[in-house]
Amino acid sequence: MFYTSIVLFFGFLVFTVSSFGGTIALGGLVSVTLLFAMVSNLLLLPSLLLSFEKKISNKNVIKEPTIQILPPKEVKDKGVK
């Protein structure tokens, strides 16, 4: 995702050296949009997900697995009686 955004950013930035005004505007707008989208995906999205984790989490969480894949861990007695 990171390298794709950088390559596309510089690819559309090349349009800004054109002699046609529409192509210059397209290159500038798309480049800025790609840069903003990459920065928000890398910085803003993780922080938003962490801050809203309790609000968007599933309330009906299954506590016991339906299929036992691993053997259950044995509880070690610490000698307290």
Reported as a single tens digit per residue, the pLDDT across 12-41 is: 999 999 999 999 999 999 999 999 999 999
Distance (Å, rounded) from C-alpha 77 to C-alpha 48? 42
Which residues touch 14 (CB under 8 Å, ≥6 apart)?
27
Distance (Å, rounded) from C-alpha 28 to C-alpha 20? 13
> Band of the pLDDT at 60, cuts 50, 70, 90?
low
Of 74 and 65, the one with more pLDDT: 74
- Token pair, residue 47, equals 């922080």
What pTM did the predictor assign?
A: 0.59
- Token pair, residue 8, equals 């596309």
Task: Tell me the three state secondary structure of residue 8.
Answer: helix
